[in-house]
Structure 1
């Protein structure tokens, strides 16, 4: 089951990257990174921007020059420049301290994850678009999976993988690049996993290999070592600074979407289908922090220097934070529109305490969870739910619409016009727009 789940995730990602951007819209933020002053950088797919949540709660968005770029992975270099992946555009972007964005095309493939070394050079994983189980050698040299590196002069270096494709990339405390590789099984066979070191001149060294394996989620540990998970073998491995590996079997049913290390070396993880955060302590004990189930699944993850755990959800654009006090806070991010404002403050970004909000909406949340399971929209007695199915599901799936949280649905429904045109669906009339906005604000708005 774990093998099937991981491969389905990988295949889905490959399919999304291989299709036009409008056909595969992003969900919540893919990744977070913290800067030196405590700001949290995050991706905004539908807003086509990389953005920063400041410690005071304000948000500043930096629009990308390429439309429908689908920003995903993020990394900061020593100069405070933000590097990011543009999945849909097939580029690596860099946001300078002056606010200027530079883009580097990644030909013959789709970038996935970016990391920055101690020199300030950006390394990134790249899928070829042929991740379908066919033999690695069947592709020409320029069109296979690889790891790329952009040096300080802006030159691109490509390091084709020895086999399979890269699933994660990270640097250890000695500034060595480590890569996990997935080698798909042929003719229905089981996949194979690899852990490899990669030198700056492109030399690969396989450090470990496993059968029925799909390793990923390389994460830096406070001692300079690394940790990674393997969904297929249901194993978590810690890689010590001296290269020794310590693997532990995880409890059945454990699924790790992303890993992040705390200051004490404990590991936090997302992916639980009950909306919870998971934690693995230094002894290897796995536990979950109880949180009201909302039908969503935790996704991106970051442990701040202060010890707060910041996370996103698949269908929720807002940013969630578990404070050291145990209090959950939700930063409401209006990703749909910013009304041309450079910064969003009171009203656009605010704080909502999970406990108070969900306690007051327990009955509504239970009903929504049932609607999500059934994929049915709430009837309003006027048939508006049928209008949703006719005019809105061409842009979003029903689960996403049922779980999405908006304080005002007007911008989101307006934005759907472009995607309806691409699908050849008749545009909404002013009356239909008002009707749908009223419907979503009433039944699926954040403030009810």
Structure 2
């Protein structure tokens, strides 16, 4: 389904509290909404060139999103009212965002090498990642009450408590580039490893298992989410596939009809289907599991 604005470059996507899917339009500088029947609405982000990236349903009934270029955290109600909060550190380039067990929003700052926390009232706290130049990108709430995030350039998975204590675990795979991360139904964390062309699993104790993708082309897996069927679903940005992996490691892949779509993020919708962004095609895709 094509977005109303051409060349919108959608990135993040999440299920909203209203039953619709909400997504960011990085190039169109907007937040989009699409119903499960395919009706679109777009809302402009007030700051010009903000570069909206990731998005999540907040604990307050609104959607929260990162503005990578502007260095803001945005909040949008289901009625389309946008509020923006500045991240204190210049050049933070906020990207991934999730809801923590403490009821706050937690986000990754790859540009500043920090993890940020913002309350629903707009108060921001930042925590430095111990490894310099780690480039934290994606973040998710873990089954242990902590937040877990990917460190793209250090090849590690990080854990941060709601009190701000960070632990880092090195991914054992050679050439590891961890990108997306999500909590799995098995009590572990699952992540995409673009460098190793794998889907990785890490326990809350830091024990890793890697599962190889078998695409003939370099797949560069990006976003990953827990599906309604007890499996993990992921987007292969360069492979142009949507993949599925069971918690025991069995992988299957589905080709996206539009060639060169460059899928990025994926989520489960209120209809029980998987919804994903097609960044280069400026489309929203749906997979029926």
Q: Same fold (TM over 0.5)?
A: yes
Contact 2:114–2:126 at 8 Å: present in 1 too?
yes
- Residue 179 to residue 277, structure 1, CA distance change in 2 (3 Å): closer
Structure-2 separation of matches of 1:291 and 1:95 = 30
| Residue of 71, 95, 100 corresponding to 2:81 | 100
- Which protein, 1 or 2, shows the higher relative CO under an 8 Å CA cutoff with sep ≥ 6? 2
Q: Runs of 5+ in structure 2 lacking a partner?
A: 1-5
- Residue 66 to residue 208, structure 1, CA distance change in 2 (3 Å): same
Q: Secondary structure at the match of 1:112?
A: coil
Structure-1 separation of matches of 2:244 and 2:234 = 6
In the TM superposition, what is the alpha-carbon distance from 1:273 to its structure 2 partner? 4.2
Matched, 1:236 2:206: no
- Residue 296 to residue 165, structure 1, CA distance change in 2 (3 Å): closer
Contact 1:166–1:182 at 8 Å: present in 2 too?
yes
Give the structure with the higher percent helix. 1
Matched, 1:176 2:146: yes
For residue 225 of structure 1, what is the aligned residue in structure 2?
188
TM-score by length of 2: 0.84
Higher gyration radius (CA): 1
Contact 2:8–2:28 at 8 Å: present in 1 too?
no
Structure-2 separation of matches of 1:254 and 1:283 = 21
Give the structure with the higher percent strand. 2
**CA deviation map 1:199-256 (0-9, x unaligned):** 2232111234546322221112234432012222333222346665433333364431
Structure-1 separation of matches of 2:166 and 2:203 = 19
Contact 2:7–2:28 at 8 Å: present in 1 too?
no
**CA deviation map 1:260-311 (0-9, x unaligned):** 2212332222225464322223442322224545343333322325431212
Q: For 1:114-263, list aligned pairs within 5 A.
A: 114-128=97-111, 144-163=112-131, 164-183=134-153, 192-210=154-172, 212-240=175-203, 244-251=207-214, 253-263=218-228
- Residue 295 to residue 94, structure 1, CA distance change in 2 (3 Å): closer
Q: Secondary structure at the match of 1:120?
A: coil
Structure-2 separation of matches of 1:100 and 1:314 = 25
For residue 60 of structure 1, what is the aligned residue in structure 2?
41
TM-score by length of 1: 0.56
Contact 2:11–2:278 at 8 Å: present in 1 too?
no
